[in-house]
Amino acid sequence: MEFANINDTMRLANAENKRFVPLFGTETFRSWILYFRAGEHTDMHYHLSPETFLVLQGKASVKGIKGDERVIEKNEIVFFGAKDYYQITNVGTEPLVLVGNRSESFGGAHVTAKEP
């Protein structure tokens, strides 16, 4: 059994300017915190395993490769199936903090969309 304090993890990410802070990881599952300052974003990409993100703080634009887009805020969660392309952008003025979970170990494939 393992435990993590999310508030401590958020403070660490902010103080050390870290976007990615691992929480838990095994050969078949992992959990982490993502911390985005205003305007920061991921690239358009997918992973080989399903994944979720729960918004702890802030406001995120979640965009799919076909242009579909939705804004999610605190206490909302998004699910991506395996190979679902997506991009996450902090569209708020405060930091965006997400808890991510994926059914694979750390170091799994990150497949970036090719530019048109």
Residue 24 lies in a domain: yes
Is the predicted pLDDT of residue 116 greater than 70, yes or no? no
- What is the distance of C-alpha 41 from the center of its chain? 10
Q: State the pLDDT at residue 69.
A: 97
- Domain of residue 89: give its range: 6-112
Residue 18 lies in a domain: yes
Residue 1 lies in a domain: no
Residue 37 lies in a domain: yes
CATH, residue 12: 2.60.120.10
pLDDT cut 70: percent of the chain above it: 98
Mean pLDDT of 9-32: 92
Q: State the pLDDT at residue 115.
A: 67
SS (H, E, C) the chain: CCCCCHHHHHHHHHHCCCCEEEEEECCCCEEEEEEECCCCECCCEECCCCEEEEEEECEEEEECCCCCEEEEECCCEEEECCCCCEEEEECCCCCEEEEEEECCCCCCCCEECCCC
Residue 71 lies in a domain: yes
Count: domains in the chain: 1
Residue 82 lies in a domain: yes
Q: Residues 62-98: pLDDT tens digits? A: 999 999 999 999 999 999 999 999 999 999 999 999 9
Residue 80 lies in a domain: yes
Residue 74 lies in a domain: yes
Q: State the pLDDT at residue 111.
A: 85
Question: Which one is predicted more confidently, 46 or 116?
Answer: 46
d(C-alpha 8, C-alpha 60), whole Å: 22
Is the predicted pLDDT of residue 10 greater than 80, yes or no? yes
